């Protein structure tokens, strides 16, 4: 059985007594991850790919070992398809710049969704403005799920690119990515999946999924900030020009011109976040030891418990689908109480709660609210933390009554 109390012992921050309900924003880190990063900084700190001395070789080996761990984690065909980035945002911008500027032309259609995070909207808006493309958004229904009828209608227009999230960061909606990718590919589109909330909670098999690009961040899956991944199909990455130029992404540089390095290093210019990438590798190891199926079952149990507890509170509106069709995220609003006020009151009780637009302003506009409060869960969340949140909500209602 999944022993959440044992898992929590790996996370020193819980010794402070906080109830951390903001894992969709950033997760906490177990000792196994922080120790791996500290070990690099203290024992073999050096640059990679550039020196022949022992500690530099160890740093290079461990950095590249993370690439293989990630390849196996998402079941990519080759490590050449695993590009280290600073996170999901940089990964999507890399595709928008290095693939988009060469392939999206005036009049082309880009299909996004109203559920998307800003990092999967703004780069495409910039591209569309620069290249003269147009963007259409798939709407949601009353349950906060994407309108598949509208999606299919847009595919009939043969879009050049389709990009959407695996899981909504704001509502927790689990999108039917397998079907959506299959339909988009059949329509001739290139497909990018934002896996920032999917990789940590649902897992992914990119070969089975069939997407062209898949992006996710380390800091949402127990790893450090500043380390993320772009998966891209090798044949596409081979055709793309570099996103950035500089050291380590080249084979030769002459005054007449430059020849670029092979994949994946063509897209990794300059000194990388070496310790953070090594930490990401440790996070992948930790998740593997817990087991993705165990993680999903635990999150489902917590989400169902929280959904029921919050739905019983008078004057509280929960947004999004029922627990069976959402990941460990619940966004809600209280009558007469701004989410920021609720978060401030919850903080007095050491309950960490997100409040705001969650980098999903088009969705907030669609819902007709300026912001929501959001509770999100992960491998270490306990039911008593949900109980503490309920207590904070009732205290807020008492204060504002």
**Cα(381)–Cα(87) distance, rounded to whole angstroms?**
24
**Cα(310)–Cα(363) distance, rounded to whole angstroms?**
21
- Output the DSSP codes for 85-118: ESSHHHHHHHIIIIIIHHH--TT-EEEEETT--G
2 burial level (CB within 10 Å; 0-12, 13-18, 19+): middle
Listed residues 233, 268, 289: the one ending a domain: 289
Q: What is the pLDDT of residue 211?
A: 98
Are residues 395 and 282 part of one domain?
no
Report residue 152 as tokens.
């299919």
Which residues constitute the domain of residue 245? 33-289
- Nearest alpha-carbon partner for 220 in 53, 4, 5, 25: 25
Q: What is the pLDDT of residue 1?
A: 81
User: Among this protein's residues, is 359 annotated catalytic?
Assistant: yes
Listed residues 242, 262, 289: the one ending a domain: 289
Neighbours of 54 (CB within 10 A): 10
Are residues 281 and 160 part of one domain?
yes
Cα 300 from chain centre: 19
Are residues 92 and 21 part of one domain?
no
61's CB contacts (< 8 A; 6+ apart) are: none
Are residues 359 and 330 part of one domain?
yes
Q: What is the pLDDT of residue 327?
A: 96
Are residues 266 and 304 part of one domain?
no
Report residue 286 as tokens.
């930790």
**Cα(176)–Cα(166) distance, rounded to whole angstroms?**
8
Are residues 331 and 264 part of one domain?
no
| Contact (CB, 8 A) for 346 and 397 | no
3-state SS, residue 356: strand
Are residues 257 and 238 part of one domain?
yes
Q: List the strands of the sheet with 82-85, edge to edge.
A: 82-85, 228-232, 213-217, 190-194, 161-165, 109-113, 134-138
3-state SS, residue 340: helix
Are residues 396 and 276 part of one domain?
no
Are residues 295 and 263 part of one domain?
no
3-state SS, residue 37: helix
Pairing of strands 372-376, 329-334: antiparallel
Among the listed residues 313, 359, 369, 390, the single catalytic one is 359
Listed residues 237, 262, 289: the one ending a domain: 289
Are residues 21 and 81 part of one domain?
no
Q: List the strands of the sheet with 329-334, edge to edge.
A: 19-21, 351-356, 372-376, 329-334, 316-319
The count of structural domains within the chain is: 2
pLDDT tens readout for residues 33-72: 999 999 999 999 999 998 889 999 999 999 999 999 999 9
Are residues 394 and 248 part of one domain?
no
pLDDT per residue, tens digit, the chain (401 aa), is 899 999 999 999 999 999 999 999 999 999 999 999 999 999 999 999 988 899 999 999 999 999 999 999 999 999 999 999 999 999 999 999 999 999 999 999 999 999 999 999 999 999 999 999 999 999 999 999 999 999 999 999 999 999 999 999 999 999 999 999 999 999 999 999 999 999 999 999 999 999 999 999 999 999 999 999 999 999 999 999 998 999 888 889 899 999 888 999 999 999 999 999 999 999 999 999 999 999 999 999 999 999 999 999 999 999 999 999 999 999 999 999 999 999 999 999 999 999 999 999 999 999 999 999 999 999 999 999 999 999 999 999 999 98
Q: What is the pLDDT of residue 250?
A: 85
CATH of the domain at 172: 3.40.640.10
CATH of the domain at 378: 3.90.1150.10
Are residues 379 and 275 part of one domain?
no
181 burial level (CB within 10 Å; 0-12, 13-18, 19+): buried
Q: How far is CA 20 from CA 263, 280, 346, 374, 382, in A?
A: 39, 21, 11, 12, 10
- Output the DSSP codes for 245-292: -STTSEEEEETTEEEEPPTTGGG--SS--HHHHHHHHHHHHHHHHH-H
Over the range 120-159, which residues count as b (16 or more CB within 10 Å of their CB) and which as e? bbbbbeebbeebebebbbbebeeebbbeeebbeebbeeeb
């Amino acid at each position: 059985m999944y022993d959440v109390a044992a898992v929590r012992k790996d996370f020193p921050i819980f010794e402070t007594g906080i109830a951390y309900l903001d894992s969709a924003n950033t997760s906490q880190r177990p000792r196994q991850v922080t120790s791996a990063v500290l070990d690099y900084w203290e024992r073999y700190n050096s640059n990679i790919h550039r020196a022949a001395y022992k500690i530099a070789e160890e740093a290079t080996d461990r950095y590249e070992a993370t690439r293989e761990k990630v390849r196996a984690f998402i079941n990519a065909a080759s490590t050449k398809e695993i590009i280290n980035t600073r996170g999901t945002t940089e990964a999507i911008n890399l595709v928008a710049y290095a693939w988009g500027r060469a392939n999206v032309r005036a009049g082309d259609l880009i299909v996004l969704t109203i559920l998307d995070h800003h990092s999967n909207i703004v780069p495409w808006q910039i591209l569309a403005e620069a290249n003269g493309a147009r963007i259409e958004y798939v709407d949601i229904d009353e349950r906060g799920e994407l309108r598949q009828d509208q999606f299919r209608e847009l595919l009939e227009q043969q879009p050049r690119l389709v990009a959407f999230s695996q899981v909504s960061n704001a509502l927790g909606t689990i999108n039917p990515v397998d079907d959506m990718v299959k339909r988009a590919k059949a329509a001739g589109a290139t497909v990018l999946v934002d896996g920032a909330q999917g990789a940590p909670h649902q897992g992914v098999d990119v070969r089975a999924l069939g997407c062209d690009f898949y992006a996710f961040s380390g800091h949402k899956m127990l790893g450090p900030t500043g380390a993320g991944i772009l998966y891209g199909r090798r044949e596409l990455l081979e055709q793309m020009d570099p996103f950035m130029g500089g050291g380590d992404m080249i084979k030769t540089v002459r005054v007449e011109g430059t020849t670029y390095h092979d994949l994946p290093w063509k897209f990794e210019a300059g000194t990388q976040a070496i310790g953070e990438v090594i930490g990401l590798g440790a996070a992948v190891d930790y998740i593997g030891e817990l087991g993705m199926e165990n993680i999903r079952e635990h999150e489902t149990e917590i989400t169902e418990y929280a959904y029921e507890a919050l739905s019983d509170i008078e004057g509280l509106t929960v947004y999004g689908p029922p627990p069976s069709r959402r990941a460990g995220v619940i966004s809600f609003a209280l009558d007469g109480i701004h989410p920021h006020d609720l978060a401030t009151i919850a903080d007095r009780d050491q309950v960490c709660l997100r409040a705001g637009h969650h980098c999903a302003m088009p969705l907030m506009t669609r819902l007709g609210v300026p912001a929501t409060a959001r509770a999100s869960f992960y491998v270490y969340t306990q039911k008593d933390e949900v109980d503490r949140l309920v207590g904070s909500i009732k205290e807020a209602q008492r204060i504002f009554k």
